[in-house]
Amino acid sequence: MGDPGSRNIRWQPSLVSRRERAELLGHGGVVLWFTGLSGSGKSTVAHAVEQKLLGCGVAAYVLDGDNIRHGLCSDLGFSSEDRGENIRRVGEVARLFVDSGLVVLCAFVSPYRADRRRLRDLLGAGDFLEIFVNASVEACRARDPKGLYARAASGEIGNLTGVGSPYEAPEAPELVLDTERQSLDEAVASVIELLQQRGTIAEDGGSGSESGEPNGRG
């Protein structure tokens, strides 16, 4: 059972539609969900894509896993339950951002398929694009930008994803980036191409569809 107080809560509809927001911005909203091991390059690619999109006049914003845990999810740990709640909260925030018309770039390890499946169900068809940032544990350990793998090796971290905790790779993502072989520029170009193919932005890199409808075109 939920909180009894929830019986007194009703969703307040906006007086502005998604279509109207899209017409103002020149494009619809969508979530690009970057998933992969720590050190695979999720945040690096997401921020580079954000910069590229903004340069083309597309409203975009990165929700980064570490940044979220400084505030919204600072009360959560790294158990499977807490990881699931972390992703649930981010999904709800991302849904609001999409409704506002933004291209939302979410960079989270998000190791469990079930959690990512719930996101896809929450956001609906066309509003959730899963991007697998693929790099081996060995490559991520060699990069180790945050020192997490070194801390795991010393026993300081017991449940690091890919080492002490499993990572379930996407089975049918919209895009796979191989950051062991692709350069950053190539990875960014692949994401931009995905958005162009989906009609979110135009072929010249600028704004695309103005429908704003959650059907893969906005």
**Orientation of helix 184-198 relative to helix 42-55, angle to 10°:** 60
Burial call 1-27: b when 16+ CB within 10 Å, e when fewer? eeeeeeeeeeeeeeeeebeebbeebbb
Which one of 38, 40, 43, 110 is the catalytic residue? 110
207 is catalytic: no
CB atoms inside a 10 Å sphere around CB 114: 10
Asked if 93 contacts 63 with a C-beta cutoff of 8 angstroms, the reply is: yes
Length of the chain: 218
Phi, psi (rounded to 5 degrees) for 110 = 35, 70
DSSP 3-state of 84 = helix
Query: Can you give 189-202 as a three-state secondary structure string?
Result: HHHHHHHHHHCCEC
Give the active site residues: 110
